[in-house]
Chains A and B, each alone.
Chain A
Amino acid sequence: MAGGNGVTAQAVDHAFLAEVMASVPGDSRLGQCIQCGTCGGSCPSAADMDHTPRRLFAMVRAGMRAEVLGSNTPWMCVSCYYCAVRCPQEVHIPDVMYGLKSIAAREGRSPESAAPDFSRTFISNIVRYGRSYEVGLVARHYLRHFPTRIPGMAPAGIGMLASRRMVLRPHRIRDLRGLRAILGRAAELESGR
């Protein structure tokens, strides 16, 4: 390893780009990005991202694995697809964001954000019931991450319960065993088994 504070000669690590592209079905066309910034200009949540999507893609191509996987950018993506319909190179940007999130989540490199935990809670309910379970999700999520928001939200929440827009008992699908087998097999395939 070269010492000092200088920049050492280092070939670009193309493996990371390949890894990200492989995490998306079809051809994500990420390699064809021309860095025009249409995505970063269109993104409604860009202000809270630590890198714009465009810059994150440049970092992916530069092989900056740790910095990219530690970025909050994919977790701030709202999947609104403005970038996707406007991108002049037809890069499948939201799907690239999902791919980046899944790689980061697998390696436990997620940034400081409630997002990964929210996703995990959400899917644990699906595995448990086959349907989402809003009361369970909201209760657990707010208690853990936003306890101070609860007093303000309580009246609305009670109203929702009263009008049965929130249901205390989760709905369970019939063939839960089959669903879990499918998810289990998919998880195996995903981890390369």
Chain B
Amino acid sequence: MTRLLYYPGCSMSGTARGYASSLAAVAGPLGLDLHEVPDWNCCGASEYFSIGPLQGYALIARNLALAEREEGLDRTVVAPCSQCFVNLAKTARYLHTDPAFAGRVNDALAAGGLSCTPGAVDVRHLFEVIVHDVGMDTIRARVTHPLRGLRVAPYLGCLVTRPDSGERWREKEHPHAFDQMLEALGAEVVDYPPRTDCCGGHLSQISPSMGLEMLRRLLDAAARLDVDVIATLCPMCQMNVDLYQSEVNRRFRTRYHVPILFFTQLLGLAFGADAAALGIGSEVVSARAALAKIGVEVPEPEAPEPVAAGARPRKPRPGRGPELPMPRMPDPEEAEE
């Protein structure tokens, strides 16, 4: 078991309740022993920096200070939310690289009887820990109910592979780790072009013209590829795509019906867990019909859902004669940095 500090973030007990329950279900099989940082506070999302940057950093640093005090654990803080991850990681980086900044933050923390040691904790995203530390072999070994026949769009969102992921990801814009994980679960994975695009974050709430447009782009790409579900690793992405899908449909006169599930929910299904125990069924855009395709029953039957709108996937054009060779893609091992 890998013992790690765990910073859930506010969404895990709210909009991302399904993420929390599915993580609880798969942590054991994946060998993760997560210890919640005691009395953690909100990371401020992207709002605190906009009003008072130093207050925003001090707010985040309080969590790092609390984490640092925990004894007997690996000094790695794992965050399941991309926004929390970026905020914690960025604060840790600035504490480490800007001594004057660290001094000001510690001045503020001292008012609450806390302090931060630059470099004391390492902040990582849950998904990255599972991909790199747990590894595909372990995941594959736990699969008892492969998701065969489920067409999935791997949607990482903007923050997990950048910018505070250090050198953990070689590919920052077209990472393949999510595809590999979903393939290990037996799912059919599509090449989803906006895989690392932004869901619009808080724009859905403050500027619907652009916020809903950014969601439309994500839904349009998914519908074109005729996917059954989008897989995500971020509560904000999940909430935006799920909760605002009906508003997108009203605004753009579309008929998208694309459910979005957390990757931990898909891991849980493949490991044989019960859909209800994984929080499946609480999504606004129901995944019921999609999962019925692979024989998973979601409780609380609802009215049948309309089929997904949008274009069918493009078929590869047949070779017709003197094709020029494609550049060879290097294997990860032989690729240079």
Contact = CB atoms under 8 A, between A and B. Distances in A.
Interface of A: 23-26, 44-45, 47-48, 74-76, 78-82, 84-85, 95, 98-99, 101-102, 105, 113-116, 118-120, 122-123, 126, 130-132, 134, 138, 141, 145-146, 149, 152-153, 155-156, 159-160, 163-167, 171, 173-175, 178-179, 181-187, 189-190
Given A79-B46, A105-B51, A179 B173 contact: no
Name the residue among B111, B247, B282 with the largest chain A CB count within 10 angstroms. B111
Contact of B14 (A85, A98, A118, A165): A165
Contacts of B138: none
B46 to A, nearest CB: 5
Most chain A CB atoms below 10 A, which of B47, B57, B281: B47
Interface of B is mostly: helix
A178 B113 CA distance: 7
B112 A80 contact: no
Given A134-B14, A163-B17, A182-B109, A98 B50 contact: yes
14 contacts: A25-B98, A44-B217, A78-B198, A78-B214, A98-B56, A101-B50, A115-B50, A115-B202, A119-B48, A123-B47, A138-B205, A160-B15, A160-B243, A186-B52
B51 A126 contact: no
A185 B110 contact: yes
Given A45-B210, A85-B173, A165-B282, A131 B112 contact: no
A141 B201 CA distance: 15
A171 B9 CA distance: 12
A48 B58 CA distance: 32
B9 to A, nearest CB: 9
Interface residues of B, number: 71
Interface in B63-105: 86, 94, 97-98, 101, 104-105
Contacts of A23: 53
Interface of B: 10, 13-18, 39-42, 44-59, 62, 86, 94, 97-98, 101, 104-105, 107-114, 158-159, 162-163, 172-173, 197-198, 200-203, 205-210, 213-214, 217, 243, 246-247, 250, 281-282, 284
A116 B48 CA distance: 10
A85 B162 contact: yes
A119 B51 contact: yes
Given A126-B41, A183-B58, A26 B101 contact: yes
Contact of A113 (B52, B113, B207): B207
A26 B94 contact: yes
Contacts of A183: 55, 58-59, 108
Contact of A166 (B14, B162, B163): B14
